[in-house]
Amino acid sequence: MPSWRPESVGRQIQEIISEIIHRRLKDPRLGFVTVTGVRVTRDLKTAKVYVSVMGDDESKDKSLETLSRALPFVRKELGRRVRLRHTPEVFFEHDDSIQRGSRIDRLLEDLKP
């Protein structure tokens, strides 16, 4: 029996974490980060947060490292704002789908006569 709850909680977590990153984290090493999605397990104990970082590989690595260092703060803020019995364990993962999409667009443009 499929459940809609993990998807709903995932959307709520995505909004909250995006707001935390943009408004509360004031680290200069953090580049332009976009939260592209959140996947929550069925038991709501783990949340994978997919982030896209604009820039070169070095800035991506710095931004992901900064996010991983800020993870306790992000989880604490998430726990204050989300209405769950237990705050999910949060993991950040790089999402390169935006870069892949723009590469495909460029390839398709090159194919046009």
Q: How confident is the model at residue 47 (pLDDT cuts 50, 70, 90)?
A: very high
Contacts 24+ apart (CB under 8 A), 48-56: 48/91, 48/93, 49/13, 49/14, 49/17, 49/90, 49/91, 49/92, 49/93, 50/93, 50/94, 50/95, 51/92, 51/93, 51/94, 51/95, 52/94, 52/95, 52/96, 52/97, 52/98, 52/99, 53/94, 55/31
Q: How confident is the model at residue 2 (pLDDT cuts 50, 70, 90)?
A: low
Domains and CATH numbers, the chain: 5-111 (3.30.300.20)
The structure's pTM equals 0.80
